[in-house]
Amino acid sequence: MTFRYALADVAALVGEPTRAAMLIALLDGRALPAGELAAEASLSASATSLHLAKLTRGGLVAVHQEGRHRYYRLASEDVAHALEALGVIATAPPPARSLSPERSALRGARTCYDHLAGVLAVALTQKMEREKVLRTTGKRGYEVTPLGVGWLGDVMRIDVAGLAHGRRLVARRCLDWTERRPHVAGALGAAILDRVLAMRWATRVKDSRALRVTPRGREALSGLGLRDALA
């Protein structure tokens, strides 16, 4: 990869359809074996290995080995953000009534790498901005306010001070692929997803990035004023 044309080199890696299929399969943050990625891309094992090698050398995918097995995942949160942003550019927002059940589920609530995305994530982020839990900072950042520290602790049971001691940025804006508006990512975004799942407000849909909001979740989220996001 040349420094001068590094962007073009990365674009070429992402732009090949079978590699794009594998990257999208990894967008939920899981580490997958080559066999599952081959099925996602409809490729032979040998062709999959060649494409994964290119993605690894290009810094888009990381690989780790457990015994005899090799597992692949997106190399970083930045790669996930870039793929989500490309989704915004590449697709026009279709009318909600024209969506298939699968696409509708993805739009409603899904994972984006390790955080919450979709209508629900955008609505929750907007509420936190309105309630002065979060305020924007810089071009891509969020800052948790003193009021927000208490709100997140009381409502979401999230220790913001603990997040601040980690190596990751606490909160950042991630442009939502389907909604074209930001949702919260970073350490706080990951913590929110963890709590939503731990409190059984939502459960994962098998073989999908989609999340299904549970009856308990509907009650809790409606109590937060997010009823419209659950339609």
pLDDT tens for residues 117-128?
999 999 999 999
Q: Which phi and psi (to 5°) does residue 142 adopt? A: -125, 150
What does the alpha-carbon distance between residue 86 and residue 70 come to, in Å, rounded to a whole number?
28
| pLDDT, greater one: 80 or 192 | 192
What does the alpha-carbon distance between residue 96 and residue 229 come to, in Å, rounded to a whole number?
13
Q: For residues 200-223, give the mean pLDDT.
A: 91
- Look up the CATH architecture of domain 6-75: Orthogonal Bundle (1.10)
Bridge partners (DSSP) listed for residue 106: none
Q: What is the DSSP letter of 193?
A: H
What does the alpha-carbon distance between residue 203 and residue 190 come to, in Å, rounded to a whole number?
15
What are the helix (H) ranges across 60-206? 77-90, 101-108, 119-130, 146-151, 160-164, 186-198
Please write the tens of the pLDDT for every residue from 186-201: 999 999 999 999 999 9
Going from N- to C-terminal start, the domains of the chain cover: 6-75, 93-230
Query: What per-residue string of b and e applies to 137-148 under the rule 16 or more CB within 10 Å gives b?
Result: eeeeebebbeeb
pLDDT of residue 133: 95
Task: Please say whether the dihedral angle defined by the alpha carbons of residues 146, 148, 153 and 154, taken in this order, is positive or negative.
Answer: positive
Encoded tokens for 153: 């602790």
